[in-house]
Amino acid sequence: MALGTSRVAGDRSRYESFRYELWKDLTENNWTFDYIGTQFDETSYPLLNNLSFDTDHEGRAGWTSGEILNVITNLLSQTGPPDIVLFSTPGGNDALQNLPYSQALLSVNGIVVALQNSNPNVTKIIEQEAPARSDAMTPELTNYFNQLKQDVLTIATENSTKSSQVIAVDMFTGFTDS
């Protein structure tokens, strides 16, 4: 399950999600997998070896971590429990909407816990978030994102178990507007 906000959902006419490129890489390397989610792309993508892109996802452009937390249990009841979750942009829209940092942190942690409650063996790959476009970054947003990068590491460490890893991935180093 690709879970998150606009970077998960994508908007093919304006910017790409990572999902299509990941799908191509996994398919070309003979992985057996199925993207799940209640959302899907209505845009067409090029075929790969006569296969159509699996457009299912759980990306919600503009949503805050609290909005995702409020619906995650219902979404998981519709999709079934995922084995692997790619959790992107946790707390980014909270920052952009100037919501309290402490609430964003609680919501991100709550999402991770809800995923584990759905499947005690789930692997969660959580983004240490890349910044917003450079023209949107203020000193306050930079501080928010920098703190979130560190706290995502804490969430990953504190919620990892022998059967359910939470893996933090650095998506900020080298990230540019392009």
Task: Read off the CATH number of the domain in which 9 is found.
Answer: 3.40.50.1110
Query: Residue 47: which residues within 8 A CB-CB, separation 6 or more?
Result: none
Rounded distance between C-alpha atoms, residue 102 and residue 122, angstroms: 25
For 67-88, what is each residue's pLDDT tens digit? 999 999 999 999 999 999 999 9
For 82-118, what is each residue's pLDDT tens digit? 999 999 988 999 999 999 999 999 999 999 999 999 9
Rounded distance between C-alpha atoms, residue 142 and residue 71, angstroms: 28
Inside any domain, residue 100: yes
Rounded distance between C-alpha atoms, residue 8 and residue 93, angstroms: 13
CA-based nearest residue to 89, from 151, 26, 148, 30: 148
For 116-170, what is each residue's pLDDT tens digit? 999 999 999 999 988 888 898 899 999 999 999 999 999 999 999 999 999 999 9
The 3 state secondary structure assigned to 50-99 is: CECCCCEEEECCCCCHHHHHHHHHHHHHHHCCCCEEEECCCCHHHHHCCC
Inside any domain, residue 96: yes
Number of independent structural domains in the chain: 1
Inside any domain, residue 43: yes
For 38-55, what is each residue's pLDDT tens digit? 999 888 899 999 999 999
